Amino acid sequence: MSVKEKLLARSGSVCELCGSPEELSVYEVTPSDGSAEQSILICGICKEALENPENRDINHWRCLGDSMWSPIPVVQVIAYRTLKSIAQEEWSQDLLDMLYLEEDVKAWADAESQSGDDGRAPTLDSNGSPLQSGDTVTIIKDLEVKGAGFTAKRGTAVRNIALTDNPEQIEGRVNGVRIVLLSKYLKKA
């Protein structure tokens, strides 16, 4: 049986993240040996969202509120990583707070972020400490927020930051507004 056949049988021929039966394909979870245990079956929409996170419709990931309860470890890993990547959304953080992973599954889920996602440069704070999505940081200098009409004050804590494709920038919520901040003006809390 091919990996795809195994996954079709495991999932009942639907996307293991959102349940859609459309455009199903195999997605390998890194680090992966290519086996069915380390792959999931996903639909076209989930594939697009995983591969092009900057274009994704974040609300599509509300489906993870169901799929994160899957008994299949690899599905839990993807749900956890994906929720973490959008932890600036309150509902995503709420789901993460509820999600319980066995220790070995948690270690696997965290393995990727620690090695630096897909080999890109790490995002570092003003002290050179690596930042991860979901971290809390403190702003170390008054920053004028262009377009938002306020100053992000020195000492402001920003919870649940999200990394961006640019290692010099992160996204976070200040005064209820989601803004881009330069990592060199932040300190990991």
Q: Which amino acid is at 85?
A: S
Select the span of 44-52, 72-80, 90-98, 123-131 touching Zn ion (CB under 5 A). Answer: 44-52
Residue 93 engages Zn ion in binding (rule: CB under 5 A): no
Q: At what angle do helices 73-85 and 90-98 cross, to 10 degrees?
A: 150
Residue 15 engages Zn ion in binding (rule: CB under 5 A): yes
What is the widest separation between alpha-carbon atoms in the chain?
Answer: 59
Query: Is the CB of 15 or the CB of 87 nearer to Zn ion?
Result: 15
Considering CB under 5 A, how many residues would be counted as binding Zn ion?
6
Which among 88, 65, 68, 69 is positioned nearest to 78, based on CA atoms? Answer: 68
Select the span of 37-45, 69-77, 157-165, 166-174 touching Zn ion (CB under 5 A). Answer: 37-45
Distance CA 113, CA 84 (A): 10
Distance CA 89, CA 123 (A): 20
CB of 156 to Zn ion, least distance (A): 37
Which residue in the block uniquely carries the two structure tokens 């993870």?
64
Select the span of 41-49, 108-116, 121-129, 142-150 touching Zn ion (CB under 5 A). Answer: 41-49
Q: Using CB under 5 A, which of 18, 75, 86, 137 touches Zn ion?
A: 18
| Dihedral sign (CA 121, 126, 130, 133) | negative
Q: Using CB under 5 A, which of 7, 24, 46, 174 touches Zn ion?
A: 46
Query: Is the CB of 17 or the CB of 181 nearer to Zn ion?
Result: 17
Distance CA 168, CA 175 (A): 22
**Residues lying near Zn ion in the complex (CB under 5 A):** 15, 17-18, 20, 43, 46
